[in-house]
Each structure stands twice: as structure tokens, then as C-alpha cells.
């Protein structure tokens, strides 16, 4: 199965879950975005590595990296390999003395290690098809226009079950335009739920 390379493009605080963040992965040379909800500790670990902020003492992911290096283990790549019941699963592709070893991992930990080993992050097309948010310039409007649209329809924005598929797709593009990836992910989930019911 063809791998598609991703890169970390943003970290944002989750509005829906107070103790969570979303790491936004962007398709290299593409317009698709994959939001992955992670915990505070992992968000901090990713941010510190991206910003090259050395901790006073090794954090868990720094310790893992140090152990790997001491034993001659390199993480060559991270693959977001599965999406099951809304949860992403990752695989670390490691190498030691020419032997390749695959290690199951939480996606948040895998991303924190990827930035420390400076290794590529990949996923597969079916995962992007199911969970990615697509940026589309033709669908961009301002938040003010969205508010006016909501008032004229007389329907609350968060009541997605009463919206048509076309309205959901428009709301999705507007959420992406204002970089509200948490709301965009909820709209995407509603669209996917309808697609699954129709199959």
C-alpha cells in the first residue's frame, strides 16, 4: 500500500476537551489535513522538540530516545497505520544492526519520537480518505458570513444532525478556513456517519 508523507504543521488547544490538544498533520505537497487529538504531556513533548527547548532533565520521550541510541536502535519512520473506532494507531519502524523491527505505538507517542529522531511520518490513502479534512479555496468564507447563515436557517450550528449534506460540506470548508480543526473534525465525523449508514 502506498505511503503518503505527512508533516506536523500546527498544535492547537482542543476546545471540546480541556485537557487535550490537536496536532495537525499536513499532507506533503497536498491540501489534506489530518487532526489528531493528543494529551497535554505529549503536546508539550512535541512542542519542546520542535522548538529545540532542552528540558533540565530528560522527559519520557527524551529518555526513550536516549535508550534507543545507547542500544543502537534508530527509528527510521513513523506510520499512522490504522484508524479504528475514531482512534489512530501508529507503528514505529525501527532498525538495529540492519534488522528492521516494527513496534506498535500510540500515535501521540510516535509523533513525539518522530520529531526527536527527525524521521518521516507517513499514513495510507484509506486513512486520509476516511479522516482527512480537505482545504478548498472555493469554500472559504468568513466567520461572520457563517453566523449570518446560521441565523437565517434558524438552526443551531452544533445541531449537525438536522443539516443537509450540502450544508455540512459548506460548514466543513468554513471551519477549515478559520483553522477551527476541532469543529471541522466533528463535522467530518457526522458526514462519515451518514456515508456509512448509506452503504
Domains in the chain: boundaries = 3-131, 136-198
Percent of the chain exceeding pLDDT 70 equals 79
Cell of 154: 434558524
Contacts of 40 by beta carbon, 8 Å cutoff, 6+ apart: 19, 20, 21
Q: Is the pLDDT of residue 4 over 90?
A: yes
pTM beyond 0.75: the answer is: no
CA dist 21 and 42 (Å) reads 9
Can you identify the CATH homologous superfamily of domain 3-131? Bifunctional nuclease domain (3.10.690.10)
Amino acid at each position: 500500500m502506498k505511503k503518503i508523507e505527512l508533516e506536523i504543521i500546527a498544535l492547537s488547544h482542543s476546545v471540546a476537551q480541556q485537557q487535550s490538544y490537536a496536532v495537525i498533520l499536513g499532507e506533503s505537497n497536498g491540501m489534506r489535513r489530518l487532526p489528531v487529538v493528543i494529551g497535554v504531556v505529549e503536546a508539550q513533548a512535541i512542542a519542546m522538540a520542535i522548538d529545540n527547548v532542552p528540558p533540565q532533565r530528560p522527559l519520557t520521550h527524551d529518555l526513550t530516545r536516549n535508550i534507543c541510541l545507547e542500544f543502537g536502535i534508530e527509528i527510521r519512520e513513523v506510520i499512522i497505520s490504522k484508524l479504528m473506532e475514531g482512534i489512530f494507531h501508529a507503528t514505529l519502524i525501527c532498525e538495529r544492526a540492519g534488522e528492521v523491527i516494527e513496534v506498535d505505538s500510540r500515535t501521540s507517542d510516535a509523533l513525539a519520537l518522530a520529531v526527536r529522531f527527525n524521521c518521516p511520518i507517513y499514513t495510507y490513502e484509506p486513512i486520509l480518505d476516511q479522516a482527512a479534512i480537505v482545504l478548498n479555496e472555493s469554500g472559504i468564507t468568513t466567520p461572520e458570513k457563517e453566523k449570518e447563515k446560521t441565523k437565517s436557517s434558524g438552526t443551531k450550528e452544533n445541531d449537525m444532525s438536522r443539516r443537509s449534506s450540502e450544508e455540512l460540506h459548506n460548514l466543513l470548508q468554513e471551519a477549515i478556513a478559520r483553522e477551527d480543526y476541532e469543529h471541522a473534525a466533528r463535522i467530518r465525523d457526522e458526514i462519515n456517519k451518514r456515508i456509512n449508514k448509506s452503504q
